[in-house]
Amino acid sequence: MLRSLLQPVLVLVFAAFPAAAQTANPGSPAPASQAQDPPTSADTKKPKKVLTNEDLANSTGKISVVGNGQNNPGNKPKAAASKTANPQYVAAVRNQIEKLLKQIVDVDKQITDLKNFKAGEPSTNSSGVQLDKRYEREPIEVQIRALQDKKKGLQAKLDSLYDEARKKGVEPGQLP
């Protein structure tokens, strides 16, 4: 048993001696092959030529010029203002957004109530009695997580409604 453990240890020790002998001393100079650096690719590239006004007068061909050129797309007249949205569409989207915002507020209230109940604080309801609520067997943490997921879904729907309305030309001030 001792012999089976001793053999791998001895092999590792004898393998470490040649590796330790090959390491360089910090005081010894570096070998000549490492001292010379090969020329870098930046040194071999030609530097970019900067043209002056005199060079432009002597050159032939087309040269790109920054500023007010004849082919500049900035000189073209811009299209008319983007289309405005249909007022009926704006009203429908506004109603959908308001409905989603009310649902988000309700979910926030439910989350707050559950967190308060978990902490042992009284309910935020005025009477403290919830006649329309039933007994839940799920733990409070699971209920809170489910409500937070529901809130994320409602927020995603709200964001998609805003994006869709923006794409159809609804101005930001027209929506809540």
Domain boundaries, the chain: 87-125+135-168
pLDDT confidence bin for 80, thresholds 50/70/90: very low
State which amino acid sits at residue 165: A
Q: Which residues of 120-159 are buried (b: 16+ CB within 10 A; e: fewer)?
A: eeeeeeeeeeeeeeeeeeeeeeebbeebeebbeebeeebe
- List pLDDT tens digits, range 111-126: 998 888 888 887 665 4
pLDDT confidence bin for 6, thresholds 50/70/90: confident
pLDDT of res. 68? 63
Sign of CA dihedral 94, 99, 100, 102: positive
| Average pLDDT score over the chain | 75
The neighbour count for residue 93, using CB atoms within 10 Å, is 20
Reported pTM: 0.48
